[in-house]
Structure 1
Amino acid sequence: MLDLFAATPTPAVPTPTTPPPGDPDFFSIIMWPFKWAVEAILVFWHWIFTSLGMQPDTGLTWVLSIVGLVIIVRSALIPLFVRQIKSQRKMLELAPEMRKIQERYRGKTDQLSREAMSRETMAMYKKHGTTPFSSCLPLLVQMPILLGMFYTLSDVKKHAEWGVGGVGFLDSELTKQFYDAQLFGVAPLHVNMIEAINDGQTVTVAILIVLVVLMIVSQFFTQLQIISKNLSPEAKTGQAYQMQRIMLYVLPLAFVFSGVFFPLGVVMYWFISNLWTMAQQFVVIRNLPTPGSEAAKARDERLAKRGKALDAKGRVIPLEKHQAEQQRLFEEAQKAKAEAPKRQQPISKQRAKKQAQKGKQDGTSAPSQNGQTPDAPTQGGNAS
């Protein structure tokens, strides 16, 4: 009997290569709701694709779930994206006015001058309904989701080895399926480039390099759309435009670091999000371009070919109605100009005296520069 039990093989217990999950720290508590949201969306899309017959532990199923996560997050950010576009446009249009403020206080380094310049700048932003931080809102809102995605995928290996799940719907079984999922059957979604290099996963390294290059190209093209097609001539002369040109070449380089330290699943999320941004930017620039920009001229030409034009409120109207509106506005401007009081040209005192003497000889008085007759007494004495 003892020999029989001794001959029975005991199941091998896998040895974890990561430390056991510990108690949550302060940062983990802050990230908990974002990780919960990421897990809920991923599991929702995973359930849809597996219900359609796809294998639950394949890379394609989880990559498509990541695509679904991008669709939901970026769709929710569309209002903020439109606000970002408008804010960037206003900031670039305000560049000439900003330069005037800077010129007024050039060389003045005292505290009062700096405070006055700051007040004028904030008053200008308030007048036009924008701030320099409005253009950063979509990125700031998306960053917690991106960090939630990062920590969710980073914990997959640890949780799978210790047989536990995430903070929400990503239970231990789904975590193990995610851990086993491989893109194209060779590249694990939870592995980053450093781990792939250390483990000798050449194909995974190659896939990550290709994705990073595609991320840089998509980001570069997105920024290029803005500065080449969607800026007015006035905006291209300001400091904000120079910053845009610098960011055109500097910002894409940030993806080099993300491709090294981020797991493959996060890199996939970022790349798909970049494609969304590029397409969204194209639609906005095509349909809501900055007035006076190359994109605005191209849109007006497209509308003219269709016999359409934009009215003062930005609505598409027939070309005949637009021409009639422009004619009406021109006539109103001419009428207002004709009805405006004529501004009297200032004259010198010597000439005013000559006109006064001539007026006395003719029995009239010539008006002076302050609107009174030269001989009329003022409140403090005579005019002369």
Structure 2
Amino acid sequence: MSLDWIYYAISWILLRWHALWDAIGIPEYRVLGTNWSWVLAIVFLVVTVRVILFPVFVKQIKSQRAMQALQPKVKELQDKHKGDRETLQKEMMELYRTEKANPLMGCLPMFLQIPVFLGLFHVLRRLNPDLPEKYKTLYGWSVEQFNSAANSALFSAPLPSKFGSSAEELAALDANSVTVKIVAGILVLVMMTTTYLTSRQMILKTGWAEDPQQKMIQRLMLYGIPLSLLVSGGLFPIGVIIYWVTNNLFTLAQQQWVLRKFPPAPMAGSRGPGPRPAGGSGAAKGGSAKSPVQPARTGGLFGRGKASAEPESPVVDTKALAPKPGAKPTNPKKGARPANKPQG
């Protein structure tokens, strides 16, 4: 299937934003070695895409919450139909249908952004000043717009260049190899960091999944993807990395807003913040506080809580047991004096 429609759509949005910044007076020439009109066009391409996908993002958050709330029921079905995969799948699909939860919704926004990323990658990769003019006018570009974008830069590093650009590619862009590697290298590190923070932010708010497979996916998103960018980031044009970093920053702000507006429900079996009442639930209901002292647990988000080796011993107040000054000493071994018998 041809992806030309994606290239046309990305080019149209990019060129409309560039024309807007040019119309309001953003200079076309470099300031601090940067063509800000093209950099801002890429930044606001992200804003355009994220605004369009915002309703899908809200549905993603709600779906993740629904899946999280269903974990106890999923665990019951897994225990009930252990060894019967076909029945388990039918029961789980019925559960998702009844509770209106969609497991695929959690990945939908990311999947919808992949065509945009690929489209921008293709458009920026072909920005070569030496390209024949008949190819410069593809996807709705004019020759003037193409040449302007091909010669645009961020801190003197051309936007079409990348960390792994060959000597021939750098010569065609009239770029300095050291400058390109420094700018691209810093951007790749920022891209890795912000990618990690977006996953960490969500896990901090919603907690680790109970299901081992979902927990493995969470760990892959948290650690695997940022580490993979250390290698693949060297193949991305600088303009694409600007898009990725801007998208991550937008995601951080968007997730923070959504998590505040739709706070996650407390997990089953977890207790909210604040001190635990003495004696557990029995003491809270007015019963005696004879329940065993719960062992203290340590650990945080990334480690299991570990019970302390020994339970805490009850503290004895020796001052309360001491006799008061002036009180008559008592002999605990001596029995009580019998009552006087009535005289006959």
Please indicate, yes or no, whether the TM-score normalized by the shorter chain is above 0.5.
yes
Alignment partner of 2:60 out of 74, 77, 84: 84
Q: Distance in 1 between matches of 2:139 and 2:253?
A: 32
Show CA shifts across 1:95-123 (max 9, x none).
222122221232x2xxxx32211101111
- Map residues 171-320 of structure 1 onto 2, 5 A cutoff: 171-184=142-155, 186-195=156-165, 199=170, 201-231=177-207, 236-239=209-212, 240-292=214-266
Show CA shifts across 1:213-236 (max 9, x none).
1112112222112222234xxx65
Do structure 1's residue 117 and structure 2's residue 88 form an aligned pair? yes
Task: Mark the CA change 1:118 to 1:62 in structure 2 (over 3 Å): closer, same or farther.
Answer: same
Amino acid paired to 2:230: V
Question: Quick check: 1:192–1:263 contact (8 Å CA) kept in 2?
Answer: yes
Partner in structure 2 of residue 142 of structure 1:
113
Question: Sequence identity, in percent?
Answer: 31
Q: Distance in 2 between matches of 1:35 and 1:151?
A: 8
Q: Distance in 1 between matches of 2:90 and 2:13?
A: 45
Amino acid paired to 2:105: S
Question: Quick check: 1:57–1:178 contact (8 Å CA) kept in 2?
Answer: no
Do structure 1's residue 104 and structure 2's residue 76 form an aligned pair? no
Question: Quick check: 2:65–2:265 contact (8 Å CA) kept in 1?
Answer: no
Query: How far has the Cα of 1:137 moved from its partner?
Result: 0.9
Task: Mark the CA change 1:297 to 1:45 in structure 2 (over 3 Å): closer, same or farther.
Answer: farther
Show CA shifts across 1:11-55 (max 9, x none).
xxxxxxxxxxxxxxx5xxx21111111111111111111112233
Partner in structure 2 of residue 162 of structure 1:
132
Query: How far has the Cα of 1:258 moved from its partner?
Result: 3.6
Query: Computing the radius of gyration over CA atoms, which structure comes out larger, 1 or 2?
Result: 1
Amino acid paired to 1:273: N
Partner in structure 1 of residue 325 of structure 2:
none
Partner in structure 1 of residue 25 of structure 2:
53
Q: Distance in 1 between matches of 2:63 and 2:18?
A: 37
Q: Distance in 2 between matches of 1:63 and 1:258?
A: 22
Q: Which is helix-richer, 1 or 2?
A: 1
Partner in structure 2 of residue 370 of structure 1:
none
Partner in structure 2 of residue 38 of structure 1:
10
Amino acid paired to 2:237: P
Q: Distance in 2 between matches of 1:297 and 1:277?
A: 27
Question: Quick check: 2:18–2:41 contact (8 Å CA) kept in 1?
Answer: yes
Q: Distance in 1 between matches of 2:133 and 2:272?
A: 60
Task: Mark the CA change 1:160 to 1:62 in structure 2 (over 3 Å): closer, same or farther.
Answer: farther
Partner in structure 2 of residue 71 of structure 1:
47
Secondary structure of residue in 2 paired with 1:168: helix
Show CA shifts across 1:208-259 (max 9, x none).
111111112112222112222234xxx6544334532342111222322441
Partner in structure 1 of residue 99 of structure 2:
128
Query: How far has the Cα of 1:285 moved from its partner?
Result: 1.1
Gaps of 5+ in 2: 171-175, 274-344
Task: Mark the CA change 1:197 to 1:208 in structure 2 (over 3 Å): closer, same or farther.
Answer: farther
Amino acid paired to 2:6: F
Task: Mark the CA change 1:197 to 1:82 in structure 2 (over 3 Å): closer, same or farther.
Answer: farther
Q: Distance in 1 between matches of 2:16 and 2:24?
A: 13
Task: Mark the CA change 1:125 to 1:88 in structure 2 (over 3 Å): closer, same or farther.
Answer: same
Question: Quick check: 1:35–1:167 contact (8 Å CA) kept in 2?
Answer: no
Query: How far has the Cα of 1:94 moved from its partner?
Result: 1.7
Question: Quick check: 2:77–2:91 contact (8 Å CA) kept in 1?
Answer: yes
Q: Distance in 2 between matches of 1:254 and 1:271?
A: 15
Gaps of 5+ in 1: 1-25, 299-384
- Map residues 333-372 of structure 1 onto 2, 5 A cutoff: none
Q: Distance in 1 between matches of 2:190 and 2:167?
A: 20
Partner in structure 2 of residue 343 of structure 1:
none
Task: Mark the CA change 1:160 to 1:138 in structure 2 (over 3 Å): closer, same or farther.
Answer: farther
Query: How far has the Cα of 1:297 moved from its partner?
Result: 6.8
Question: What is the TM-score of this pair, normalised by structure 1?
Answer: 0.63
Secondary structure of residue in 1 paired with 2:25: coil
Query: How far has the Cα of 1:148 moved from its partner?
Result: 0.8
Secondary structure of residue in 1 paired with 2:26: coil
Task: Mark the CA change 1:39 to 1:95 in structure 2 (over 3 Å): closer, same or farther.
Answer: same
Secondary structure of residue in 2 paired with 1:193: coil
Query: How far has the Cα of 1:140 moved from its partner?
Result: 1.2
Q: Distance in 2 between matches of 1:170 and 1:143?
A: 23
Amino acid paired to 1:270: W
